[in-house]
Amino acid sequence: MKSARITGPNEPLKVSESQTPKPLGNQVLVKVKAVGVCHSDLHLWEGGYDLGDGQFMKVTDRGVKYPVTPGHEIAGTVEEIGSDVTGISKGDSVLVYPWIGCGQCPACKAENENLCDTPKSLGVFQDGGYSDYSLVPHYKYLAKLDGVNPDSATSLACSGLTAYTAIKKSNQNMPEFIVVIGAGGLGLMGVQIAKAITKAKIICVDLDDQKLDTAKEMGADYVLNSKDPETSQKIISICNNMGADSVVDFVNAPPTAKLGLSVLRKRGNLVLVGLFGGSIEMSLVTIPLKSIIIQGAYTGNYHDMLELLDLARKGIINPMISKRYSLDDANTALEDLKARKILGRAVINP
């Protein structure tokens, strides 16, 4: 099989051939039709996360081993199944749930494998889908597409799933206004999902007017370019001069986290999702006085992915795929994402 692999931080991805694996027991071999290009692939390629104050969290310290094949948004057809597989047959069109856990820790026992203490996620801790084949360790991680287009389905495994978890968290205080920061792959799904599952008015913020136009088409009631120094005051004034009930920060860097905190009303809810990173100082006393909640959101569980597939099947959400690349162009795909040239999601069609 042919794979585009990360051999080390910031090294060009290397396209190489290896033996196509044979699925054993519960394993399933999926022929990859499409794999989403996520900003998290970029962090993996860059070698880690910005902790702020010049500190860097290396992915290798979190258990990543190079070389690794990235790609955690995998859709394809079942090529071959192991002898113990049931309910899945050769030729089925499937989406792969990549957030595989240990199966033993409290999170896994509660069916939240995405929050496992020792994750084994595909495309991060084990080889993923920048490849023409992907070996899925157990058939329970597959979901049938049943009519959803494979290119669109890819984003439901990460960008859609993460946005779904985050928007559900932002909806806990019955918001009248939700601010979505970042109109990239995740944020545009966030706007659509917020429109579909909440009653809130949606305010979307980004640095790029074209992305904001798309956010508006996808259901944002207000869009603001945060290059404008008045953005914070403008958001507060849209929110009846009280501030926003919830903010979902799909960037989560110092300027966006500060913006989020500055517009949050009393009893507000800040959901941090992006991994751009860095650090901020904050006034501690306002947290109890305003009784705000600051929480993180990390991907989502398998059942949420099934719910999302259903929303996509009914046309309630429509993941936007704006660019397609071949496996040989994996480097260009990542470079384009880094240069903010991609609207919504790009996929690689191996």
> Site residues (CB under 5 A) for Zn ion?
38, 40, 158
Burial of 213 (0-12, 13-18, 19+ CB in 10 A): middle
Is residue 182 near ligand NAD by the rule CB under 6 A?
yes
Closer residue to ligand NAD (CB): 245 or 249: 249
Q: Which of 155, 171, 269, 299 binds ligand NAD (CB under 6 A)?
A: 299
Residues 41-60 that bind ligand NAD (CB under 6 A): 43
Residue 256 interacting partner from Zn ion, ligand NAD, none (CB closer than 5 to 8 Å by kind): ligand NAD
We find the least distance from the C-beta atom of residue 299 to ligand NAD, in angstroms, to be 4
Is residue 164 near ligand NAD by the rule CB under 6 A?
no
Closer residue to ligand NAD (CB): 82 or 190: 190
Q: Which of 40, 154, 170, 269 binds ligand NAD (CB under 6 A)?
A: 40
We find the least distance from the C-beta atom of residue 230 to Zn ion, in angstroms, to be 33
Nearest Cα residue to 207 out of 184, 177, 185, 232: 184
Is residue 186 near ligand NAD by the rule CB under 6 A?
yes
Q: Which amino acid type is present at position 129?
A: G
d(Cα 194, Cα 177) in Å, to the nearest integer?
Answer: 10
Of all residues in this chain, which one has the CB nearest to Zn ion in the complex?
A: 38
Count the helices and strands in the chain (H runs, E runs).
Answer: 11, 17
Closer residue to ligand NAD (CB): 70 or 268: 70
Q: Which of 1, 34, 38, 347 binds ligand NAD (CB under 6 A)?
A: 38
Backbone phi, psi, residue 32, to 5°: -75, 125
Pairing type for strands 133-136 and 28-37 reads antiparallel
Cα 344 from chain centroid (whole Å): 11
Is residue 308 near ligand NAD by the rule CB under 6 A?
no
Residue 235 interacting partner from Zn ion, ligand NAD, none (CB closer than 5 to 8 Å by kind): none
Closer residue to ligand NAD (CB): 6 or 186: 186
DSSP code string of 262-318: HHEEEEEEEEE----B------TTHHHHHT-EEEE-----HHHHHHHHHHHHTTS--
d(Cα 170, Cα 174) in Å, to the nearest integer?
Answer: 8
E strand segments, the chain: 2-5, 14-17, 28-37, 48-52, 55-58, 74-81, 93-96, 133-136, 142-144, 177-181, 201-206, 222-225, 244-249, 264-272, 293-296, 321-325, 345-348
Residue 3 interacting partner from ligand NAD, Zn ion, none (CB closer than 5 to 8 Å by kind): none
d(Cα 198, Cα 103) in Å, to the nearest integer?
Answer: 32
Q: Which of 127, 211, 232, 244 binds ligand NAD (CB under 6 A)?
A: 211
d(Cα 297, Cα 291) in Å, to the nearest integer?
Answer: 19
Is residue 340 near ligand NAD by the rule CB under 6 A?
yes
Q: Which of 122, 156, 158, 202 binds ligand NAD (CB under 6 A)?
A: 158
Strand partners, 248: 180, 271
Per-residue x/- track, 227-266, ligand NAD (CB under 6 A): -----------------------xx-x-xx----------
For residue 349, give every residue at least 6 positions away whose Cβ sits within 8 Å of its Cβ, in sequence order, or none.
33, 34, 151, 324, 325, 326
Closer residue to Zn ion (CB): 38 or 78: 38
Q: Which of 121, 226, 246, 269 binds ligand NAD (CB under 6 A)?
A: 226
Contact 128, 135 (CB under 8 A): no
d(Cα 130, Cα 34) in Å, to the nearest integer?
Answer: 9
Is residue 185 near ligand NAD by the rule CB under 6 A?
yes
Is residue 75 near ligand NAD by the rule CB under 6 A?
no
Task: Give contact residues for ligand NAD (rule: CB under 6 A).
Answer: 38-40, 43, 158-159, 162, 181-187, 205-208, 211, 226, 250-251, 253, 255-256, 273-276, 297-299, 337, 340
